[in-house]
Chains A and B, each alone.
Chain A
Amino acid sequence: MFLQRLNPSIKALTIMILVVLLAFIFEPMTPLLFLIWTVSITFIFGKVNFKKYALYFIPFVIFSFGMLWTSVVFADTPKNQDEIVVLLGMAYPRETLLTALALSIRVLNVAALSLLFVFTTNIVHFILSMMQQLRLPPKIAYAVLAGYRFLPMMRDEIKLIHDAHRIRGVNQAKTVTEKWNNYKRYSIPLLASAIRKAERTAIAMESKGFTGDKNRTFYRQFTVKKTDWLFPLIMLTGFLAALLAS
């Protein structure tokens, strides 16, 4: 699919630019139209699983709703207090309501843009591309990849530590201090093991000739093709159209 084949760095940069642009919009229409645009592009060019997408999107909906009501309740006093909208038997200044709406839809729009990225990007490819296109130092890139490999091991380890501590008779914390001590008992072995693993991995990587030199060859080469520029073009056009339409 088009979105999956896209150069990950171009994709990420485009999305960042769009998020920044969205930050300057304080009316609800543009983000709403652009939200529809973003979601459509995701499904048309990304072949994304709808159920999974919805599952990830729902928390943002809840968050955006929280944003909506707090922005109304805790709002700054608007300049124009004449226009009043009555909602659920309460009166609100129209300006306040519109700003609140704009903020909450912005949250949704940012979420949609992120999900577009997350659902269509292979993380290893993203890091490799950042190294090749965005000059991310190889030392950091490979350190992150190495660290990333620890995640599943740590998940198993948490479970083990939990059981091992239970055997020792610790997990009956009732007060806050006991709970805090319990957390500390968990975190120290977990972090200690992560640090040791990291040290060993670093030595193994160096003994395979890794020096962090920027002149390395790549098994998976990432380049920017002409078609990659289509994505920023499509998205910026969409944003401009949304801006003009509202």
Chain B
Amino acid sequence: MTNWRFKEIVVMAALSVVFGVVYLAFLPLGGVLAGIFGPIGYDFIFGIWFIVSIIAAYIIRKPGAAFLSETIAAMVEVLIGNAIGPMLIVTGMVQGIGAEAVFAATRWKNYSTWVLMAAGVGSAVTSFIYGYFMSGYAALAPGYVTAMFIVRMISGALIAGLLGKALSDGLAQTGVLSSFALGKEYRKRKAA
């Protein structure tokens, strides 16, 4: 944390707060989908719950951004008071670790589209392993569990990875990111 500017931490926290709310808003939609398709319903849109990891990491580009932002988003969900309680913080950490691991593998240097999508998949993997034990997927048929896993990974890549990138790029265009890594890169590209 020592090479972070305080401004970056607060901005990351603000993003986490926004997406904490978004995360909560998507719970009922997941519930509806799960009502129709069974537990796999959640997996279709599971990527949305990793998106802040990708956005924060892509904008700030410092070790810990993916993990911390997801953790804080979960904390905010708890604070707003309508969620799975303090345990959700652990869920957030687990999801964050998945994305962080992918960025760590590039030594926090590469933020190309493919890496962002891979980070979304990373979150899907860790969150699935965690869910397998905590939510008792073990009791479900293996074929069904495999299908859940695949759907969740695709969702992570598309919703978290691609959508997260699109939103961040849109923000960079407005110029508000001028003092952050993504904004600086954007400026260089524009100048070139």
Contact = CB atoms under 8 A, between A and B. Distances in A.
Direct contact of A and B (CB under 8 A): yes
Interface of A: 12, 15-16, 19, 23, 26, 56, 59, 62-63, 66-67, 70-71, 73-77, 99-100, 102-103, 106, 110-111, 113-115, 117-119, 123, 126-127, 137, 139-140, 143-144, 146-148, 150-151, 154, 184, 187-188, 190-192, 194-199, 201-203, 205-206, 210, 212
> Which 10 residue pairs across A and B have the least CB separation, nearest first?
A114-B85, A198-B14, A143-B13, A147-B17, A147-B13, A70-B38, A202-B10, A12-B86, A202-B7, A198-B11
A123 B120 CA distance: 30
Contact of B35 (A66, A144, A147): A66
A170 to B, nearest CB: 16
Interface in B77-99: 78-87, 90
B139 A195 contact: no
Given A76-B139, A188-B170, A199-B7, A194 B86 contact: no
B87 A15 contact: yes
A70 B174 CA distance: 46
A148 B134 CA distance: 29
A23 B134 contact: yes
Q: Which residue of B12, B17, B76 has the most chain A CB atoms within 10 A of its CB atom?
A: B17
Contacts of A115: 85
Contact of A195 (B21, B85, B171): B171
A106 B141 contact: no
Interface of B: 1, 4, 6-7, 9-18, 21, 28, 31, 34-35, 38-39, 68, 72, 75-76, 78-87, 90, 133-136, 138-142, 144, 166-167, 170-171, 174, 176-177, 179
Given A15-B86, A118-B85, A195 B14 contact: yes
B16 to A, nearest CB: 7
A99 B86 contact: no
Contacts of B144: 74
A192 B174 contact: yes
Contacts of B177: 195
B167 A191 contact: yes
Given A74-B39, A148-B79, 8 more contacts: A103-B135, A144-B13, A146-B14, A148-B76, A184-B166, A188-B170, A191-B18, A199-B11
B141 A206 contact: no
A114 B91 CA distance: 14
Contact of A56 (B1, B6, B21, B82): B82
Query: Interface residues of B: mostly helix, strand, loop or mixed?
Result: helix
Nearest to A155: B21
B9 A140 contact: yes
A146 B13 CA distance: 8
A191 B21 CA distance: 13
B83 A114 contact: yes
A137 B79 CA distance: 18
A148 B76 CA distance: 8
A194 B15 contact: yes
Contact of A192 (B35, B82, B176, B179): B176
A131 to B, nearest CB: 12
A85 to B, nearest CB: 16
A144 to B, nearest CB: 5
A66 to B, nearest CB: 5
A19 B87 contact: yes
A103 to B, nearest CB: 5
Contacts of A118: 78, 81-82, 85
B171 A144 contact: no
Contact of A194 (B6, B18, B140): B18
Contacts of B4: 139
A100 B139 CA distance: 8
Given A59-B31, A74-B38, A76-B139, A195 B167 contact: no
A74 B34 CA distance: 12
B40 to A, nearest CB: 8
